[in-house]
Amino acid sequence: MADPSITARSPRDGLVHHASRAVGALIITVLLLGACWAVEVANYGGDLTREYGIQPHNVHSLWHIFTAPFLHANLDHIMANSVPLAIFGFLTALRGLGRFIAVSVIVMVVSGLGVWFLAASNVVTVGASGLIFGYFGYLLARGFFERRVLDILLGVVIALVYGTMIFGVLPGQPGISWQAHLFGLIGGILAARLTRRRTAPAALPPA
């Protein structure tokens, strides 16, 4: 006799589920990019950059770790960030809005604090590159923490295609915040560890 607590799922149900996840991830990505571009338009002249960028060692600027990722120095800056932010943001958002928000907050905190503590006091840091490196690190590490073959393969593909990004964590590039990149990457790996899907314990057989 079939167990009434077990519900059979057809392949069609699986396709519908994955399609809805993809649509949801696309909406999240569009909203994220839309927010960055809306802020860029509102920031014509750069007043918001100076007001809400991260000013290292300034206690009053500490909460700017949550505003700085949506600000950019100029049009070239946001254009350069938009494509990788869309790709990595979409792949991260495939796990759902709750997981996406958790990963994003962890990355912003770790990346922002790294900038706040280590960057030069006279430099204002803005840009989504900390988020980009965070999503990059999350996607690389997620499969190993969750032990899912598909996620491991995705991480390998991302490493092969975008592996040269890792050089962005090294200091010495003028105008580039290596602190945001390095600590964004660390934040992404930490987020993969903290938000990993835990396997439910196996049920005991009936007596």
Report pLDDT digits (tens) over 13-28: 667 767 888 999 999 9
Catalogue all structural domains in the chain, each as residue range(s) with its CATH number: 13-194 (1.20.1540.10)
Closest CA to 185 of 160, 167, 161: 167
Query: Residue 80: is its pLDDT beyond 70?
Result: yes
In the numeric block, the tokens 């607590």 are attached to: 5
Query: Residue 101: is its pLDDT beyond 80?
Result: yes
In the numeric block, the tokens 């922002």 are attached to: 112
Portion of the chain with pLDDT greater than 90, in percent: 70
Q: What is the pLDDT of residue 204?
A: 43
pLDDT band per the 50, 70, 90 thresholds, residue 201: very low
Q: What is the pLDDT of residue 168?
A: 87
Instruction: Calculate mean pLDDT across residues 119-129.
Output: 93
Q: Helical H runs in 43-177?
A: 47-52, 75-93, 97-118, 129-146, 149-162
Most confident of 46-55, 104-113, 166-175: 104-113
pLDDT band per the 50, 70, 90 thresholds, residue 11: low
Query: Residue 203: is its pLDDT beyond 50?
Result: no
Closest CA to 32 of 71, 89, 115: 89
Instruction: Calculate mean pLDDT across residues 105-130.
Output: 95
Please state, in angstroms and rounded to a whole number, the distance separating the CA atoms of residues 104 and 93: 10
Instruction: Calculate mean pLDDT across residues 47-61.
Output: 93
Please state, in angstroms and rounded to a whole number, the distance separating the CA atoms of residues 175 and 192: 29
The angle at the Cα of 47, spanning 188 to 84, to the nearest 5 degrees, equals 30
**Dihedral angle computed from the Cα positions of residues 113, 117, 123 and 125, in that order, rounded to the nearest 10 degrees:** -10
Q: What is the pLDDT of residue 16?
A: 75
Q: Helix or strand or coil: residue 201?
A: coil
Q: What is the pLDDT of residue 13?
A: 64
Tallying the residues shown for the chain, one arrives at 207
Phi/psi for 40 (5° steps) reads: -60, -40
Query: Residue 196: is its pLDDT beyond 90?
Result: no
